[in-house]
Amino acid sequence: MTSPSSALPRGVFTMQAQERIVFGEPAGEALLAEIKQRGARRVFVTSTRSLAKLSDGPLQAIEKALGSLHVGTFSAIASHSPREDVIAGAGAARAAKADLIVAVGGGSVVDATKAMLMCLWHNLDSPAAMEPYRSGRDDGRIPTPMVPPPDAIRMVAIPTTLSAAEFTPNAGVTNSETHFKQSFSHRLFVPMTVILDPVMTMATPEWLLVSTGIRSVDHSVESYCSPTANPATEPLSLQGLRLLHRSLPAMVERPDDLAARLDGQFGMWQAISASIAGAGSGASHGIGYVLGSGYGVPHGHTSCVMLPAVLRWNASFNGERQKALSAAMGAPDRPAGDLIAELVQRIGQPGNLRAVGIKREDLPTIAERAMTYAPVRRNPKKINGPGDVMEILEIAW
């Protein structure tokens, strides 16, 4: 019996603890069907102030559909999921004696709700109490293991943006004292069910919807370029990019086109599937964490300004591989970085660091902080230190 060749690809394709993706069904009806199947009786909802202010938006539609099953709503989750909001939301769900949580909103809501599950499992009641459970993927620390109870409360997600947080077991949470984005992770964080209803995106501001779509483009691109990409993840990355590249402009040009919005939802799903299966992210994501947690740049806008720059910086290393990305966008002979920059411009989003409020004097600090994030260190073209990050930031400037 011969030993396997060292040239064979090696890796792990991770299957998440997600049970169902429901698409194209009215969200209220789909949610009630899920609740009936799972026997939940006390449903708590999480969301944001902006959705709570609407008189007839997605949050109100879900609360109405729940009827007597609805035992409360926490709608004060801010951007980038501050620890304080996680603790406050968990406290409200605990007081309501919830047996199921439904997140209605974008990535910050979904990530905060994941971390709320941890707080409910372990009865955490302060931001400091969360610290031992923080992932060590950025600094190598060994976190305290999470041990959910046998009847651990879980969540269902109804997304209103294209950030794709609802498909992952990771919660990105901001430490308000240090302004660092930190990760908490458990396989049961991932929502049991995701309900993709394009109607739920209709009240989302256009800039937010399409910029989070670029965030999903970032998932496609960086997972395809990842050193851990493999023949099982590559088709997911490329299909996600194809769907997003055609659907994002359509959403701007035809805002009432639900088919285009559902295409975008399929695109974000495919794009993130490659990433969570094992094909990691790179410098666009890592630098984006600094811009988001430290400078308040929205998730989607971090990808709008960083992804083209990272592709251009990486091109000397993986330019041949990037041609597949260009082909997926319909222009195989053009640089992928240029095509994505043009897509960002076409949908009216910021294309450089100046446009999102970053000052030139901020760049050295951003470069230093970026090196603390694992995706920067996993970038396909090796980043040896802040000087290399500065080169990328200058391209994005």
Cβ–Cβ contacts within 10 Å for residue 146, how many?
A: 18
Cβ–Cβ contacts within 10 Å for residue 235, how many?
A: 13
In this structure, the strands spanning 193-196 and 155-159 are: parallel
pLDDT in tens, 33-87: 999 999 999 999 999 999 999 999 999 999 999 999 999 999 999 988 999 999 9
Beta bridge partners of 341: none
Q: Which of 166, 200, 234 is the last residue before a domain boundary? A: 200
Does some domain include residue 13? no
Does some domain include residue 2? no
- pLDDT of res. 180: 84
Question: Which CATH number characterizes residue 92's domain?
Answer: 3.40.50.1970
Half-sphere exposure of 384 (CA within 13 A, CB side): 1
Does some domain include residue 14? no
Does 220 lie in the same domain as 187? no
SS3 335: coil
As for how many domains the chain has, the answer is 2
Question: Which CATH number characterizes residue 275's domain?
Answer: 1.20.1090.10
> Smallest Cα–Cα separation from 73: which of 82, 8, 88?
88
| Mean pLDDT of the region 240-256 | 98
For residue 319, with 0-12 CB atoms within 10 Å meaning exposed, 13-18 middle and 19 or more buried, which class applies? middle
pLDDT in tens, 118-165: 999 999 999 999 999 998 766 677 889 999 999 999 999 999 999 999
The Cα 52–Cα 107 span in angstroms is 16
- pLDDT of res. 138: 61
Cα-Cα-Cα-Cα dihedral sign, residues 193, 196, 200, 201: positive
Contacts of 149 (CB under 8 A, 6+ apart): 121
> Smallest Cα–Cα separation from 305: which of 253, 261, 362?
362
Does 106 lie in the same domain as 43? yes
Does 123 lie in the same domain as 94? yes
- Cα dihedral 250, 252, 255, 260, rounded to 10, equals 30
Does 212 lie in the same domain as 111? no
b/e per residue 30-62 (b: at least 16 CB within 10 A): bbbebbeeeebeebbbbbbebbbeeeebbbbbb
pTM above 0.85, yes or no: yes
Does 70 lie in the same domain as 111? yes
Does some domain include residue 5? no
Does some domain include residue 345? yes
Angle at 268 between CA 264 and CA 270, to 5 degrees: 115
Q: Give Cα 309 to chain centroid, integer Å.
A: 20
Does 141 lie in the same domain as 43? yes
Of the listed ranges 62-76, 171-185, 193-207, 238-252, the least confidently predicted one is: 171-185
Does 342 lie in the same domain as 273? yes
Does 159 lie in the same domain as 225? no
Does some domain include residue 127? yes
Q: Which of 146, 167, 200 is the last residue before a domain boundary? A: 200
pLDDT in tens, 310-356: 999 999 999 999 999 999 999 999 999 999 999 999 999 999 999 99
270: domain range?
208-396
Does 214 lie in the same domain as 245? yes
The Cα 58–Cα 200 span in angstroms is 5
Q: Which of 200, 232, 266 is the last residue before a domain boundary? A: 200
Does 103 lie in the same domain as 125? yes
- pLDDT of res. 79: 87
Contacts of 87 (CB under 8 A, 6+ apart): 119, 124, 125, 126, 127, 129, 130
> Smallest Cα–Cα separation from 137: which of 17, 299, 302, 281?
281
Does 253 lie in the same domain as 167? no
Does some domain include residue 323? yes
Does some domain include residue 171? yes
Does 266 lie in the same domain as 384? yes
Q: Band of the pLDDT at 6, cuts 50, 70, 90?
A: low
